[in-house]
Amino acid sequence: MTSKELDFLKDTLNQEQQAIKKCQTYAEHSNDQSIKSLFAQAAQRHETHYKKILTQLNV
């Protein structure tokens, strides 16, 4: 893997981490249960993406 590809993956991991944190925060602060659930699901999806990328890097 080239250094450019590694840099791209690092950036992608950082973006996924930010998305996880934002979605979790939005879910925590929402008063509407359906919105809270949507953001919690989105956070979970981003966490899944994050873990998949890490798995690929550790192979």
Rounded alpha-carbon distances, angstroms, from residue 34 to 13, 22, 44: 28, 17, 15
pLDDT at position 57: 85
Please state the rounded mean pLDDT for residues 42-56. 96
Residue 59 confidence (pLDDT): 63
Per-residue pLDDT, 1: 83
For range 9-27, the mean pLDDT: 97
Backbone angles phi, psi at 32, to 5 degrees: -90, 120
High-pLDDT (> 90) share of the chain, %: 86
Does pTM top 0.85 for this prediction? yes
How far, in whole angstroms, is CA 33 from its chain's centroid?
21
Cβ atoms 46, 16 nearer than 8 A = yes
Element (H or E) spanning 31, and its range?
none
